Each structure stands twice: as C-alpha cells, then as structure tokens.
Amino acid sequence: MKRFIKSIVWLLAVIGFGVGIYGMYLRFTTGHRLADYGSYIPWGLWVAFYIYFIGLSAGSFLLSTLVYVARIERLEKIGKLALFTAFGCLVAALLSIWMDLGHMFRVGNVLLHMNLNSMMSWMGILYSSYFAIILVELWFALRVDLIETAQTGNSGSAAFAKFLSFGSTDTSKEAKARDHARLRVLGTIGVPLAIAFHGGVGALFGVVQARPHWNSGLMPIAFLIGALASGGALLTAVVYIWGPDKNKQQLNEIMKFLGKIVLALILFDFLLEIAEFLVGLYSLAPAERLPLEAILHGPYWYVFWIVHFLIGVVVPVIILFARAVPKGQPDKYVGGSIAFACLLVAVTFIAVRFNIVIPAQINPEIPGLEYAFGGPGLKFTYLPSIMEWLVAAWVTCFGVLLFLVGEKILPIVKDDNREVA
Amino acid sequence: MALIDIKPHEIRKRMIDDIRRALQKPIQDRRWVMVIDQEKCVGCTACTTSCVAENHLPPGVVYRPVVEEEHGNYPNVRKSFLPRPCMQCDDPPCVKVCPAHATWKRMDGIIEINYKRCIGCRYCISACPYSARTFDMGYFYTDNTPEIMQYEREPNFEYGKAWPRKDRESSPVGNARKCTYCIHKVEKGMLPACVSTCIGDATYFGDANDPKSLIAELLASPRARKLREEEGTEPATTYLV
Ligand code: SF4
Ligand code: SF4
C-alpha cells in the first residue's frame, strides 16, 4: 500500500513538474502578462502559495523542535523527517514568491537596501537566517548517519554521503552528544525565529491599513496557528508514508500523538476563524463586510464551504476524533486513517491561504474606480489564469521532488527503522 | 462662485510665476500641492489623456483616472467627478512598506520611485489607500499589430530621467508606477500636464509654503477637503468640494 502511494506521489510530482515547465516557460517569456492579477488586485495565487508553503514549513519545523529542544522521546525518530519536510516547503515557498516579483533578479535589494519599517524586509532577514539554521541543523542531525552510510552503503550513495559529511568522521559517543547539544541550541534559536517569521508574514498583511480585512492584530496569531495546524498535518501524513515503520506499535503511537496535536490545532484555528468572521460581519463598513461576504457566498463560495470547511475541517475532525483520540489497542488501520485525515487538512489549507490573500483586495478603495479607466489589470475580480496554475504546480512539484529525491539519497530515515512496504 | 479674485486667463500665468518663484528656493523649502475644484470639473478626462501622453503610459497604467459619482434619484440626478492623482501623502504608507527603499519622500514632498531599484513586489500597491499605484506589466498599445510603434518606445522623463520603453522586461516595466505631479516639468518651470490641459481650470498647482501663491490662497478655502482623511496619510492633493 505504502509503496503504491509513494509511486503515485512520484508520478504526480513528475507529471506536475513536466507540465509545469510549460508554465515556467510562459512566465519567463511573457512575464506577468498572462496572469490575472494586476493593479487593483496586485497579489494573486503565487502569494497564496507562498504563505501556504511558508506555513507548512514553519509548522513542521516547530514540530521538529519537539524532538531537538523539548526532547519528546517518542518523536525522536521523526526529527530529521520534520526538518527535511520543512526544508522542502521553504524552498517551494521562496520559489513561489520569487516568481511573483516584477524584477526577479533584483530580489537582493531587499537585503541591500533594507527598510526596517517594511515587514517584507524583515522577511528577507528572517528567511535567510531560517534557511541557514535549517541547513546547519539538518547537517548536524544527519552527520552520524552520513558517516555510517559513507562506510556501509552502496557505492553511489556512499560517495554522496561521504561528500556531504565534509570530511567529518567522528562517530564516538561524545561526538554524538555534542551533536545533540548543538541541535538543541540551533533548535532553540529556531523556535523564536520560526515564530517571528511566520507571525511576521501574518504581520506583513496585518499592518496594511488600507485593507481592513487584513488589518487586524489577530493576523499574526492566526497565521501561526494555521502554520502549526497545516504543517503538523503535513508532517503526520509524511511520517506515515516515509517515516520509520518497522516497529508498528511505535508508529501507531506516534500517529495517534500527532493526530491529537493536529486535531487540537485545527479546532483552535477554526475558533480564530469564527471570531474573525463574526466580528467582521457585524461591521457595516463595506471594506470589512465585502471580503467576508465574498468568501461565504461570492462566486467562489465553494473554496470556503467545500474545500476548506467540509474537506479541510469537518471530515478530518470526525476521523481524528474517531481514530486518534480513543485509548486502548489500536487496530491496524489507525495510522492510515489518521494520515488520510491529516493529508486532507494539509492539502486543503491552500483554500484558507487563498481566502486570506484575494478577498481583501476585491473592495474598490475608491468606489467607481474600475469604471474610470480601463485596461489590463484594472479590475476588481480575480481568477488565477492557466499560466499561474501551471507555475504554482511546477513550484509545488519542485518542492515535492526535492523531498522525494532527498529522502531516497539521504539517510533521513535509516533503513533499519524502515520496513519495505 | 468666484473663489478668489482672479480672472480666468490670469490663472495659469500666476501659477507659472508661483512655480518659478518656488524654484528659486532650496528644495526643502518647497511643498508642491495640487488642488482640484470638483465644482469646476466637468469630467472630460482631458487630464487623464494628457497624463498618458506626457508620461507615455502603456495599457493598464494610469496615473490620473477621473472617477464619476452619481447623486440623487431620477429626476433629481447630478454627477460629480473625482480626478485622482497620487495624493503625495505627507505620511505615505507606500513608502513605509517598500522593502527596498525604492520609493521615498523627497524634500519637496513628492513621493519618488526609483525604477532601477524597485523589485516589483507590489506591496506599495496593496498599501496605498487610494489605489494610486498601478503595475506596469509590459503591454504596448500596438500589441497584436504587425509592428510596435516607435512612439510607444520613446522615453518618458519621469523624475527628470529618460526612461525609454526598450522591451517588455526593462524598467519601468515590472515596476509599480504612479503620478509624479510631473515633477520633471515643474522643475523646468512648467505646469503639470493635467493642470495645463484642464479645460475647466479645475486643477491648480503650486507651492503651499509660499503664502503669496495662488495655491496657498485656495488651501485656505472652507471647501478644502482631503480624500479619506481618516487614513492619517495627510495627502497633499486637496479637493474643493
Ligand atoms: S496616494 Fe498612494 S502612492 Fe501616492 S503617496 Fe499616498 S500612499 Fe503613496
Ligand atoms: S513594488 Fe517596488 S516600490 Fe513598490 S514596494 Fe515593491 S519594491 Fe517598493
């Protein structure tokens, strides 16, 4: 079964990557002219994908700190997997936002001409640090395994592992203890960093006074909880398929533990959402009401009701309540059903991100503006174009393939922990 | 209602004198302001068009649309017109959010964009409460015709530099763009294009720091209002309602 799922994921990723190349070709040859965003709705699908992936990354990174900082023993075996998932998502997120820039090759200006009043400059600083931390942390987490693979593995992966170990050979007890201490320090730095950068992405929207739908102190918090819920859910699904599964009992315990965490987080996230909706809908101001009404019964109502509410909240919550919460001997389908529920949460969370980015922009800041002057991009409606979808697919599949290939050639989960299934 | 005691044919002469006087002063002592008299605006959009011509704006980029507002119910219906240039805010949210310091407030109050530095993230577009910024996506009016016409490639002179429209990638393509108050013309002692073409003499321009200027007199009118004052952006552009 797992082998089948893996092949499906490989297949989808390769197809998406291949088809997405056409989108990338269009993006690089026609710039932004085939996109549906423009001047009145300046941010579109790629921004939504960016905050989606950055949330997944932050969420699984924060869970990895349960291993390296809080030392929760039963999760020990999935620490590296969590870090690597966070890495894949981070790459996809950065690619996605990079595609969105009008001048992609000037992205360095964010650091070169930093404006500390701009949340976006802060993102530049925080992402660079986070990227570095994640790489260094991964290396220390993998160091001993790399050395062991270099000695025992087959020639190709052994050579690669040897290269990646950068000449380090010490696998003594003391060295391992040193690694652990370092990981703890790095993880400890990582926690506030992950909170800062993901809360910061929330603030990036939260500070925009011109868009009342974004302009709220709840934004950074909602982003964080959403990141934990979606990132945690993704990680849970990943653990089931790629994680250590030799010890069935242990795997089921991990799955139930993660399932419960995810359940609590989805519910909490949903609570925040309800608060935001109720308060917003009470308002008479069109700029507050209009985006919410568009979400609930606009032309794209199904994004909220079906994709997010039904498939992303109701169904997974029911499954998780039924499978992750009960005590006693789990049957053999527990892991699978929890993983399925979590996969639903992780995948459908893009709907939440989409509904954050787009509806806030549909209310004309000056009523009648759209009739004053016409031209491409001068409208207040938005539906992502094929090119935008293809680029988003490419970016997503790039991240997935990065994960799949890395998982194959790096000792993320060691063979003696894994059953071939 | 005659707002101030000036004959129509003297208005432009006086504004040009005001500009030239202001240019004698050091830049930090000038404060360029535009006043738009909504009672006099007939909604002809001559200003919109002259702005497109002056700045060689491509499709999808507009600096000064004229928004129509309808009032009343039939048969008691009236229209008013709201030309909307950049407000050149004193406290501009667009400047605050720009991650690359690519847009900033000059000493004379004009908000400038450095096209060479702007990364095209469009954060400023999101943050402007007046939708005054548009994104240049690289269109030409003669797209889908046998030839892109040379006049579309001729440079504009925004902020006093020449910006030819070489191709679909180089700045100002890919940048956020907005009204500059035609500062390139003003600094040569001329009126902004929208002011000199306004058929109703509804748009005025000058140095608010000069008490003798026409603009300073207009700013003292009890009819003076700022757009969306509650945003706290302190716009320089002022409306007489
Ligand atoms: S009107 Fe908009 S673009 Fe112009 S200065 Fe104010 S915030 Fe910036
Ligand atoms: S689009 Fe350009 S000017 Fe606007 S915020 Fe981004 S970098 Fe700054």
Confidence of residue A295 (pLDDT cuts 50, 70, 90): very high
Q: Inter-chain contact A210–B128, Cβ cutoff 8 Å?
A: yes
Stretch B52-62: mean pLDDT = 96
Q: Do B119 and A114 touch (CB under 8 A)?
A: no
Residue A348: closest CA among A338, A340, A360, A336: A340
pLDDT at residue A329 above 80? no
B122–A102 C-beta distance less than 8 A: yes
Q: Return the residue in A28, A30, A32 with the most chain B beta carbons within 10 A, the one to mutate for interface testing.
A: A32
Could you say which ligand is closest to the alpha carbon of residue A107? 2
Please say if the pLDDT value at position B193 is more than 90: yes
Query: B98 in ligand 2 pocket by Cβ < 6 Å?
Result: yes
Region A313-324: mean pLDDT is: 95
Q: Is the CB of B240 under 6 A from ligand 2?
A: no
Please report the atom of ligand 2 found closest to the CA of residue B113: 3
pLDDT tens digits along A50-79: 999 999 999 999 988 888 888 888 888 888
Q: Distance from the CA of B164 to the center of ligand 2, in angstroms?
A: 20
What separation in Å is there between the alpha carbon of A281 and the centre of ligand 1?
Answer: 29
What's the pLDDT tens digit per position in B106-134?
A: 999 999 999 999 999 999 999 999 999 99
DSSP string of A320-371, one letter each residue: HHHHTS--S---TTHHHHHHHHHHHHHHHHHHHHHHHHTGGG-S-SSTTHHH
Averaged pLDDT for residues B177-199: 97
pTM strictly above 0.90: yes
pLDDT at A200 over 90: yes
**Would you place residue B1 in the very low, low, confident or very high pLDDT band (cuts 50, 70, 90)?**
very low
Chain A partners within 8 Å of B137 (Cβ): 31-33, 35, 38, 376-377
* B68–A371 CB contact, under 8 Å: yes
How close A6 comes to chain B (CA, Å)? 37
**With 0-12 CB in 10 A as exposed, 13-18 as middle and 19+ as buried, what is A162?**
middle
Q: Model confidence over A212-252: pLDDT tens digits?
A: 999 999 999 999 999 999 999 999 999 999 988 888 888 88
The more confidently predicted of residues A243 and B208 is: B208
Please determine, for residue A300, whether its predicted confidence score (pLDDT) is greater than 70.
yes
- Is the minimum CB–CB distance between B50 and chain A shorter than 8 Å? no
As a whole number, mean pLDDT of residues A142-162 equals 79
Instruction: Answer yes or no: is pLDDT of B3 > 80.
Output: no
Lowest mean pLDDT among A159-168, A173-182, B205-214: A159-168
Q: Is some CB atom of chain A closer than 8 A to the CB atom of B43?
A: no
CB A68 within 8 A of CB A187: yes
Nearest CA in chain B to A358: B126
For chain B, what is the radius of gyration of the CA atoms? 18
Q: Is B176 in the pocket of ligand 2 (CB under 6 A)?
A: yes
CA distance A212 to A205: 10
Q: Please report, rounded to a whole number, the percentage of residues in chain A having pLDDT higher than 70.
A: 98
Cα(A107) to centroid(ligand 2), Å: 11
Distance, in angstroms, between B17 CA and closest chain A CA? 33
Given a cut of 80, is residue A156 above it in pLDDT?
A: no
Q: Is the pLDDT of residue A283 over 60?
A: yes
Residue A421's pLDDT band, with cuts at 50, 70 and 90, is low
Question: What value does the mean pLDDT of chain A take?
Answer: 92
Ligand nearest to the Cα of B124, by number: 2
A167 touches chain B (CB under 8 A): no
- Three-class DSSP category at A82: helix
Q: Are A78 and A239 in contact (CB under 8 A)?
A: yes
Q: Is the CB of B106 under 6 A from ligand 2?
A: no
Q: What local confidence, expressed as pLDDT, does residue A153 receive?
A: 67
**Residues of chain A numbered 106-145 and touching chain B (CB < 8 Å):** 106-107, 109-110, 112-115, 117-121, 123-124
* B32-37 and B238-240 beta bridge pairing: parallel
A106 alpha carbon to ligand 2 midpoint, in Å? 11
Mean pLDDT value across residues A135-154: 85
Determine the pLDDT at residue A419.
Answer: 65
**ipTM of this complex:** 0.93
Q: How far, in Å, from the CA of A154 to the mean position of ligand 1?
A: 62
Is the distance from CB of A53 to CB of A399 less than 8 angstroms?
yes
Ligand 1 centroid–CA B130 distance in Å is 7
The arithmetic mean of pLDDT across residues A347-376, rounded, is 95
Q: Specify the residue with its C-alpha closest to ligand 1, atom 4.
A: B86
pLDDT in tens, A38-47: 999 999 999 9
State which ligand 2 atom lies nearest to the alpha carbon of B119: 7
Q: Chain B within 8 Å of A28 (Cβ-Cβ)?
A: no
pLDDT value, residue A331: 77
Give the separation between CA B73 and CA A25, rounded to whole angstroms: 53
Would you call the peptide bond into B75 cis, given omega within 30 degrees of 0 as the criterion?
yes
User: Which A residues in the span 322-361 are in contact with B, Cβ-Cβ below 8 Å?
Assistant: 361
Shortest distance between the Cα of B50 and any Cα of chain A, in A, equals 14
Q: Tell me which residues of chain A, numbers 202 to 261, contact chain B at a CB-CB cutoff of 8 Å.
A: 204, 207-211
Q: Is any atom of ligand 2 closer than 6 Å to the C-beta of B148?
A: no
What is the Å distance from ligand 2's center to B115 Cα?
9
